[in-house]
Structure 1
Amino acid sequence: MLEKIDLNKSIDHKEYTDKLETLSKQLSVLQRECLSRQIPIMVVFEGWGASGKGDLINNLIHSLDPRGFKVFSIDIETEEDKKRPYLCRFWNKIPAKGQIAIFDRSWYRRILSDRMDGISDKKKVQNAYDEILNFEDMLIKDGMLIIKFFLHISKHEQKKRLHKLEEHKETAWRVTKADWKHNKNYEEYLAINNEMLEKTDMAEAPWSIVEATDLQYAEIKVLSTVVERMETELTKDVVASRKVDNYHRKLGWIPSEELFHNSTLDSVDLSLSIEKEEYRNKLEVLQEKIAILQNKVYLLQIPIVIVFEGWDAAGKGGTIKRLTECLDPRGYEVIPIAAPNDIEKEHHYMWRFYNKLPKASQIAIYDRSWYGRVLVERVEELIRDEEWKRAYSEINQLEKQLTNAGTIVMKFWLHIDKEEQGKRFKERQENPEKQWKITEEDWRNRAKWDEYEKAVDEMLIRTSTTYAPWTIVEANSKNYARIKLLETVMNVIEKYIENLKK
């Protein structure tokens, strides 16, 4: 791809001046229109060292209202960054609706660096590309405009610029050993850049290769491309349904609609229970074992995600309490998930969860989670159908990223029947100490039991994967549910640690 680019392209000064004035005015107007239409934009600059990324970003923002954009210069990962899935630090930087985020290097940095240093095997490289494509696809389907530039210069031009930078102490610091290494092995790195461009060139987020020998020509091309992409985006119907990605189709398996006619939950034996004495004895033993396992998790730097979902009054709070009673509070966090606030609503719905993922050695316990997208938001019709249908794939991708990064993911559905829920609701209403637990919303949800059951069934089928399976917990007996859940937590962690030794 890059070998075919004519790097001799240039522009005369008068044409440059005339076009710059016109494009600057257009860009200023388009920024306001995108803000009005609540279109978020990400502009990515990748390319060779000394290819002019800083200059071109600076020229781009001259035409923008500074209140509407942020520039992020992406450096190598910090030790803190390395303790979480790689894309977390970029999720933290995605712009709110109507805002623009400009990246001087981006999520492509690590894969390029790793490939150039020869430290990534083929499987890791492909996983990284898959995660990047899923990341961009997820944002695009939610309305993000992604504009990607690769700044291309020749080996000779790069060498000339690096020497010029080194001649002055004010700029010499910008030249690194890696820059010279890349120049020396230019042809090898050219192939790596070609691979990256070919594997990540998407119809909705294509790469624009910028001939950057003449920086004035490059500036006009960048501004023209941004203007063109913004104009095209503004012509789209903002409420148009975007294509729903089918995660299972990618895997070669499509759940039969017949699966959703027969409830997965119908086969759950809710008569299961445990005697009080046996419960007390098992609880004590399990809590002691889990406390020991937490120390091993810390030493091995294993992050853990534990998701609690279930019917209202299914016993999530009590079960979480029994789990955390044995844990060192410095090593875990319980994260209750409520309806998104105004700031969270301005971003992709996954944004608020990527900000809450645990770092290595930590345990994150979610009292409700990202599954609200395919449960309450679906049933209560808070979002369009295509949004919750798309969420299954997005959730699977999140959990795949977690497990790829070495995170243990456990998901529990606490299941009770409608009769048991009614009994517990009544007990809460009649007990002054527990009345705070019952709300009008609980009663409204109960009235839609059948709709919620259908949503739960589909959620369990579409998001129970080999790397992040669901565990259905029979919870009509609270004590039985607590023991089953703690046993599952213990067994999963023990098995994971045992596999690390192999």
Structure 2
Amino acid sequence: MLEMVDLGKKLEKEEYKKLMPDLERRLTELQQKMRELGIATTLVFEGLEAAGKGTLINRLMLPLDPRGFKVHPVHPPTIEEAMYPFLIRFWKKLPEKGRLGIFDKSWYERVLAERVTGKVSKKECQQAFNEILAFERQQIDNGVVMIKFWCHISKKEQGKRFKDIQKNPSLSWKIGKEELKQHKAYDDYIEAAEEMLEKTNSSQSPWVIIEAHDRRYATTKVFEALADAWETAIKKQQATVKKAAAKATKLTPRNVTVVSALDLAQTLDEKTYREELESYQKRIRNLEHEIYIHRIPAVIVYEGVDAAGKGGNIKRLTENLDPRGYEVIPIAAPTKEELARHYLWRFAREMPKAGHITIFDRSWYGRILVERVEGFCSETEWRRAYREINEFEAHLADFGAVVVKFWLHIDQDEQLKRFKERETTPWKAWKITEEDWRNREKWPKYESAINDMLANCSTSYAPWTIIEANDKYFARIKALKTVVKALEKALKKS
């Protein structure tokens, strides 16, 4: 692909002066319209050193409202960032609706610089391609406009620019050992770039090759590409018939489901419970330190029907742990800031770093449970979420994270009993709300959604464990056993 690029393309100064005022005006007006429509944009600038990425970004910023964009210069991951799956730091930087995120280098460094320098293996590189494609598709499916620019220059041109920069006392610091190494390995970088362009080019997130020898030509091509993409997005949005708020999906209850067939009569006597609780809590305390030594992160998800005992279960899991090594994240309804981004954004920000444990009291599964049943998202969105969630969890598992997911289930009689107990117990009254009673009335609808979730999102790398929770003692010990088993399995592999 790159050998066919015509790097001799030029734009004369007079022609440039004629084109730019109109392009600048278009971008200024289109940015405002994109903000009004709430459409986010992600721009990726990739290319070899001295290809002019910074200059192009700087020129692009001039006609834009600075309140509506943010530039993210991407450097090699810090020690802290390297303790997370590589896409997590980019999840955190995604633009909210109506804003523009500009990346000077990006997640593609995983398959470029890190590949050429040998920091990632061929297997990891191929895995990264799949993870990147999933990551980008998820953003685009959520309405984001994404354009990726590859700024291309020849080895000869790069060498010439390096010399010019080195002659300038104010800029010479930009050319160090790493830049000179890249120039020497130019052919290796181009080979990596060729594969990257081939494997990650799509109609939804295309690569735009910028012939970057002539800065005027490169500038107008970037401006035109962005203006065209924004105009297309605006027309598409305006052409879409405005639909009413998503209606709650009609769910047909099944006669026999996974959760309806559970044996909820399983119990554990108090003496056995106390003995096993002490034993497993000691073991988990030791495992917490062992996974820290081996830098294994753990993600533990608690979901379940209201009053199933998630809080008590989490308490028994954590009460003997070192508080410096874990965090419990209670999940409530999304805030305005969170609603302005992909629904997984708020969860990506809370992932544990290597060697730590994060426990979620409710999670991203709200997308295919409460949001589905209550009509807070469309059917297209919640059906798409099964794949998105599996891909998100695969990214965690590929990094080496242990992913444990619990569904705590009780029957309706037990739930009613616990609801009434909460209403009549002063220190428990805060736990029961009108929403809990409303959810109870929709039990059959939730049961259908639960069974679809269990069927579609239980994988070898992130399986669901169903906890029969009518008996709290039984439920707590089963959860502790499951965590111990999962952590021990991960340590054997390390």
Which TM-score applies when normalising by structure 2?
A: 0.96
Distance 1:262 1:86 in 2: 42
Deviation digits for residues 292-315 of structure 1 (CA, Å, limit 9, x no counterpart): 111111111111100000010000
Structure 2 residue aligned with 1:45: 45
2:491 matches 1:497: yes
Classify the secondary structure of the residue corresponding to 1:422.
Answer: helix
Query: Cα–Cα, structure 1 residues 20 and 239, in superposed 2: closer, same or farther, change >3 Å?
Result: closer
Q: Which residue number in structure 2 is paired with residue 188 of structure 1? A: 188
Q: 1:375 to 1:75 in 2, by over 3 A?
A: same
Say whether the 8 Å CA contact 1:311–1:416 is kept in structure 2: yes
Runs of 4+ aligned structure 1 residues displaced above 6 Å come to: 257-261
8 Å contact 1:260–1:457 — kept in the other structure? no
Q: In the TM superposition, what are the counterparts of 1:291-370 in structure 2 within 5 Å?
A: 291-370=285-364
1:177 Cα deviation after fit: 2.3
Does the aligned pair in 1 maintain the 2:113–2:189 contact within 8 Å? no
Residue identity opposite 1:193 in structure 2:
A
Q: Which amino acid aligns with 1:114?
A: E
Alignment of 1:118-267 (within 5 A): 118-237=118-237, 262-267=256-261
Look up the match of 1:18.
18
Shift of 1:110: 2.3
Equivalent residue, structure 2, for 1:60: 60
Can you list the C-alpha shifts for 1:25-83, whole angstroms capped at 9, x where unaligned? 00000000000100000111001110111111010000100010011100010000011
8 Å CA contact 1:303–1:407 kept in 2: the answer is: yes
CA distance in 2: counterparts of 1:184 and 1:465, whole angstroms? 44
Cα distance in structure 2, aligned partners of 1:159 and 1:133: 33
How far off is 1:362 after superposition?
A: 1.1
Shift, 1:429, TM fit: 1.2
Alignment partners' CA distance in 2, 1:26 and 1:216: 18
Query: What per-residue deviation string (whole Å, max 9, x for no partner) do you get for residues 224-265 of structure 1?
Result: 111111111111136959xxxxxxxxxxxxxxx999774111
C-alpha distance in 2, partners of 1:259/1:158? 65
Letter of the 1:104 counterpart: D
Q: Distance in 1 between the 2:441 and 2:474 partners?
A: 27
- 8 A Cα contact 2:110 2:120, kept in partner: no
2:440 to 440, 446, 450: 446
Paired residue secondary structure (2:70) = strand
Distance 1:110 1:402, change over 3 A: same
Provide the C-alpha distance between the structure 2 equivalents of 1:236 and 1:450, rounded to a whole number of angstroms. 38
Distance 1:52 1:289 in 2: 56
* Residues in 1 aligned to 2:119 and 2:83: alpha-carbon distance in whole angstroms: 19
Q: How many pairs were matched up? A: 485
CA contact (8 A) 2:110 2:128 kept: no
SS in structure 2 of the partner of residue 413 of structure 1: strand
Quote the residue 2:472 is aligned against. Answer: 478
CA distance in 1 between counterparts of 2:218 and 2:493 reads 52
State how far apart, in whole Å, the 1-side matches of 2:387 and 2:375 are. 19
Task: Write out per-residue CA displacement over residues 64-117 of structure 1, whole angstroms, 9 at most, x where no aligned residue.
Answer: 000100111000100000111111111111111000011111111122012211
For 1:210, what is the secondary structure of its paired residue?
Answer: strand
The two structures have a TM-score, normalised by structure 1, of 0.94
Q: Secondary structure at the match of 2:174?
A: coil
**Counterpart in 2 of 1:245?**
none
In structure 2, how many angstroms separate the alpha carbons of the residues matched to 1:78 and 1:174? 19
Structure 1: distance between partners of 2:238 and 2:486: 44
Q: Decide whether the 8 Å contact of 1:260 with 1:458 is kept in 2.
A: no
The answer to whether the 8 Å contact 2:253/2:448 transfers is: no
CA distance in 2, matches of 1:145, 1:239: 16
Quote the sequence identity (%).
49
Structure 2 residue matching 1:266: 3-state secondary structure? coil
| 1:433 shift after superposition | 2.1
Look up the SS of the partner of 2:418 in the other structure. Answer: helix
The letter for the 1-side match of 2:257 is S
Map of 2:246 onto structure 1: none
Cα gap change, 1:239 to 1:358, in 2 (>3 Å): farther
Cα deviation 1:175-197 (Å, max 9, x = unaligned): 13232223223223221111111
Q: Distance in 2 between matches of 1:78 and 1:382?
A: 38
Cα distance in 2, alignment partners of residues 31 and 286 from structure 1: 57
CA distance, structure 2, for counterparts of residue 42 and residue 113 of structure 1: 21
**Structure 2: which 5+ residue stretches go unaligned?**
242-250
8 Å Cα contact 2:115/2:122 also seen in 1: no
Residues 72-81 or 285-294, more deviating: 285-294
Structure 1 unaligned spans of 5+: 242-256
Partner AA of 2:455 in structure 1: I
Secondary structure of the corresponding residue to residue 316 of structure 2: helix
Deviation at 1:149, TM superposition (A): 0.5
For 1:466 and 1:142, how far apart are their aligned partners in 2? 27
The answer as to whether partners of 2:300 and 2:357 remain within 8 angstroms in 1 is: yes
Secondary structure, counterpart of 1:472 in structure 2? strand
Is 188-197 or 1-10 further displaced after alignment?
188-197
2:275 — aligned with what?
281
Aligned to 2:245: none
Is the CA contact 1:403–1:409 (under 8 Å) kept in the aligned structure 2? yes
CA separation of 1:260 and 1:351: change in aligned 2, threshold 3 A = farther
Kindly indicate whether the alpha-carbon contact (under 8 Å) linking 1:313 and 1:424 is maintained by their aligned counterparts in 2: yes
Deviation at 1:154, TM superposition (A): 1.0
Q: Per-residue deviation at 1:360?
A: 1.1
Deviation of 1:428 (Å): 1.1
Is 259-268 or 354-363 further displaced after alignment? 259-268
CA offset digits 1:334-378 (Å, max 9, x no partner): 100000011111111111001110111111011000000000000
How many Å separate the matches in 2 of 1:200 and 1:258?
A: 40
- What residue identity is the alignment partner of 1:402? L
Quote the residue 2:79 is aligned against: 79
Measured in 2, the distance between the counterparts of 1:496 and 1:43 equals: 38
Moved more, 448-457 or 83-92: 83-92
Structure 2: distance between partners of 1:265 and 1:412: 13
Measured in 2, the distance between the counterparts of 1:225 and 1:261 equals 54
RMSD between aligned residues: 1.6
Is contact 1:308-1:365 (8 Å) kept? yes
| 1:383 matched residue in structure 2 | 377
Q: Distance in 2 between matches of 1:462 and 1:156?
A: 53
**d(CA) in 2 for partners of 1:240 and 1:290?**
53
Match for residue 88 of structure 1? 88
Say which SS state the counterpart of residue 237 (structure 1) adopts.
helix
Could you give the per-residue CA deviations for residues 6-40 of structure 1, whole angstroms, max 9, x where no partner exists? Answer: 10000111110010111000000000000010000
- Match of 2:426? 432
Deviations 1:213-232 (A, max 9, x none): 11011001110111111111
Q: Which residue of 2 aligns with 1:462?
A: 456
Name the aligned partner's letter for residue 478 of structure 1.
K
